Structure 1
Amino acid sequence: MGWERSSVGEQGDVFEELAYALVQALDEWSTCLQEVIEGPGPSRPGLLALLRDAQPKIDNPLLGSWLLGRDQLLGENKRAGRVPTVQDTARIVAAFRADAAPQGRRLMGIAKQVEFHRARLQELKGHQWRSAVVNALKAPEQPGLPGPVDPVVPPESADLPSTAADGTPLRAPAAGATARVVPGEDDERPAADPITPPPPPDPHAPARSRAWKWSAAAVAAVGLVTVLVVAAWPGSRATTGRGGQAVPSSGSVASAAGATAQSRDALGGDSRCSPPRTGPSGTRLRACARVQRDRVAFALKVDNPTASAVEVTVKVGGFWAGAAHDCEPGPATTHVAVEPGTTFTTDPAHCETARQDAPLAYQAEAYVAAGDGQEWIGHTFSPRANVYVDRGTLWRCGNDVPC
Structure 2
Amino acid sequence: MGDQEESFADLSHRLAQILDAWQTCVGEPTAQGKPPRKVLVKALETERETPPWQSRKKIDEALLSYWLKGRDQLLPGIKHNRLPSEEDCAAVARALKDHAPENAQQLPQIGWEIADLGRRLRAAGGPGWRNRVLASIVVQPAEPVEPTEDVEPAQAAQAAGPATAAEPAEPVGTAGAAEPTAALAQTAGRRRWKNGRGWAAVAAVGVAGAIVLFVWLDVGGESSSAGEKPSGSAGPSTQGADVAKPGPTASTESGGVEGNHRCGKVRSAGAVSWTPCTILTKDGTMSFLVQFTNTSDKPVTVKAKLAYVRAAVQQTCPDPWGTSVQITVPAETTKTNPLDACTASLTPVQAFQARGWVVPDGAAQWGHREHSPTLHVQEDGTPVWADEE
Does the pair score TM above 0.5?
no
TM-score interval (norm. to shorter): 0.3 to 0.5
Provide the TM-score with structure 1 as the length reference. Answer: 0.44
Bigger RCO of structures 1 and 2 (CA < 8 A, at least 6 apart): 2
TM, length-normalised to structure 2: 0.45
